Amino acid sequence: MMSQIMIETVNLTRDYGPNRALDAVNLQVSRGQVMGFLGPNGAGKTTCMRILSGLLAPTSGSVSVAGVDVVANPDVAKRKIGFLPETPPIYGELTVREYLSYLAQLRGVGGKQRRGAVDGAMARCGLTHVAERLLRNLSKGYRQRAGIAQAIVHGPDVVILDEPTVGLDPIQIREIRDLIKELGQEHAVMLSTHILPEVRMTCDRVAVINGGRIVLEDSMAGLEARASEQHGVRVRFGAPPEPAAVEALDGVAAVHVVEGGWTVLPQAGADPIPALLAAAVTGGWDLRELTPGSNALEEVFVQLTTREESAESQQQEAA
């Protein structure tokens, strides 16, 4: 069965006077999928998220959520969207329960269903034990949880999260990541960030935006493979074989012995890891480590964004 597309943009464009913030952006996100939306500061991420959530109109192009045109039918579309901006809309004088009940009412959740919706959102976000506490007295991590709870309390099809872990400590970040992965099992989730570990830990697909344009869209596995092709896979064996035995494996282009282990470079478009794992088991090589090259994803990200910036600068100079 084909995945149900919950977010779709077609040639989405937004101008601010003479400046083009988004340039013909085409994206699709399906139910049960977490899409990481990556880009440097000023790339157009926030503008795109605001258009998707119905807070900003595009200059041209179309955007639909769960099959509803956000521009033509904004009231219907917004009921299908849950949005967490970078700064959560928190009302510090309300308790967690009062806050979520108020926002559920604003979004059309009827009185009979409202308490169940609020209790369910609190349970999913780990807020039940602080339900009667004032929001202003909660830690930043719990206020962030409350921000996510308000985004899902009305049962939306789509959840849009803008930098949901900024300013949190490592334990809080881990908890929010787990929550995002859980949301991705039921909703279509779009996660805007410039933090690559965030994407690696939570996302199924990745879209990279720079200068208002999508410069890459791929699965997380595809992005990892791209990084691996350029930087190889680091391996370490307890009982290492001859390097030639590894070089002979399917998908392996070369093997370099480095301090503390080996770097295995794959052939173009190939994934040597399955053959490497199988050979390590059958050959008794005692595999101790298998990791992508250090900072490989970060380097791919930098190459994508700086290459686009360089090309744009050259075009402007030529003009």
Give the distance from CA 195 to its chain's centroid. Answer: 9
pLDDT, residue 65, reads 93
pLDDT, residue 56, reads 92
Q: How confident is the model at residue 313 (pLDDT cuts 50, 70, 90)?
A: very low
Share of the chain above pLDDT 70, in %: 88
pLDDT, residue 87, reads 84
Which helix (H) or strand (E) element contains residue 315? helix 296-318
Report d(CA 247, CA 231) in Å as an integer. 16
Report d(CA 77, CA 62) in Å as an integer. 13
The mean pLDDT of 266-271, rounded to a whole number, is 78
DSSP string over 160-184: EEESTTTT--HHHHHHHHHHHHHHT
- Tokens 């979520």 sit on residue: 100
Give the distance from CA 95 to its chain's centroid. Answer: 30
Least confident piece of the model among 36-50, 57-71, 228-242: 228-242
DSSP string over 253-292: EEEEEETTEEEEEEPTT---HHHHHHHHHHHT--EEEEEE
Alpha helices in 107-259 (DSSP H): 111-124, 140-152, 170-183, 196-202, 220-231, 243-247
pLDDT digits (tens, 9 = 90+) for 6-29: 999 999 999 999 999 999 999 999
Task: Please tell me which residue, 307 or 319, carries the higher pLDDT value.
Answer: 307
The mean pLDDT of 275-289, rounded to a whole number, is 93
Q: Please provide residue 207's backbone torsions phi and psi, each rounded to the nearest 5 degrees.
A: -125, 130
Question: pTM (2 decimals)?
Answer: 0.74
Q: Please provide residue 148's backbone torsions phi and psi, each rounded to the nearest 5 degrees.
A: -70, -40
pLDDT of 302 higher than 90: no
The mean pLDDT of 163-170, rounded to a whole number, is 82
Average pLDDT, rounded, for the chain: 86
pLDDT of 308 higher than 60: no
pLDDT of 319 higher than 70: no
Report d(CA 227, CA 258) in Å as an integer. 19
pLDDT of 315 higher than 60: no
pLDDT, residue 2, reads 45
pLDDT, residue 3, reads 61
Domains of the chain: 5-218 (3.40.50.300), 233-292 (3.30.70)
